[in-house]
Chains A and B, each alone.
Chain A
Amino acid sequence: GIQVEQSPPDLILQEGANSTLRCNFSDSVNNLQWFHQNPWGQLINLFYIPSGTKQNGRLSATTVATERYSLLYISSSQTTDSGVYFCAVEAGSYQLTFGKGTKLSVIP
């Protein structure tokens, strides 16, 4: 099956700093989503981005499907950005395959 690798696994930022999270995948995909999992466990949709670039406030994402990677940018980080960020892809098998996540801690 398709492999999804996220980096870095852990990231500690000072409030106000910027960061880039990376997601590499091993095959062509129909769907790619970025999620933020809050401390209570809910997966919050950030982006549905099988290709191209999208922006939503301080967050933006870019997927380069031909090179099989996606990037999530967080600018001017806030403590509420803390949590685990997951990249998930679907490659024609009805299921989303998740990476292991990047655990982000933003300290004041």
Chain B
Amino acid sequence: ETGVTQSPTHLIKTRGQQVTLRCSSQSGHNTVSWYQQALGQGPQFIFQYYREEENGRGNFPPRFSGLQFPNYSSELNVNALELDDSALYLCASSLGSPSGELFFGEGSRLTVL
């Protein structure tokens, strides 16, 4: 059984640039959620995708957007990067119900200079 995988693991961008982060869900899982974790804080919910549709969103501006593909993998896109976007971005997958157990990947650590 393949777990949740994310890429890239680390990246550095400058203010104003755009970034795309990728996530492959655990085998058999059809729901993907994205979280942002700033240094020293708990993860914050960005949004969730189920059957290729966004079905829940946290308190993040529209420049944070996402996609889910037919194979349930997902992308997180962030436009017009700001310094405060520097964080660990975590992807989680689950099966079916939004209340199902979540399994997280290792994360993508983004630094914005």
Tell me the A residues contacting B by CB distance below 8 Å: 30-31, 33, 35, 40-43, 45, 48, 86, 88, 90, 92-101
Q: How many residues of B contact A (CB 8 A)?
A: 26
Write the chain B residue with the least CB distance to A4.
Answer: B42
Closest 4 CB pairs of A and B: A94-B56, A98-B42, A95-B45, A43-B104
Tell me the B residues contacting A by CB distance below 8 Å: 33, 35, 37, 41-45, 48, 55-56, 58, 88, 90, 92, 98-107, 109
Partner of A93, one of B43, B56, B101, B109: B56
Partner of B43, one of A30, A40, A43, A94: A43
Write the chain A residue with the least CB distance to B109.
Answer: A41
Q: Are B106 and A98 within 8 A (Cβ)?
A: no
Q: Are A100 and B42 within 8 A (Cβ)?
A: yes
Q: Are B90 and A43 within 8 A (Cβ)?
A: yes
Q: Which residues of A contact B109 (CB under 8 A)?
A: 41
Instruction: Tell whether A94 pairs with B55 under 8 Å between CB atoms, given A86-B42, A99-B42.
Output: yes
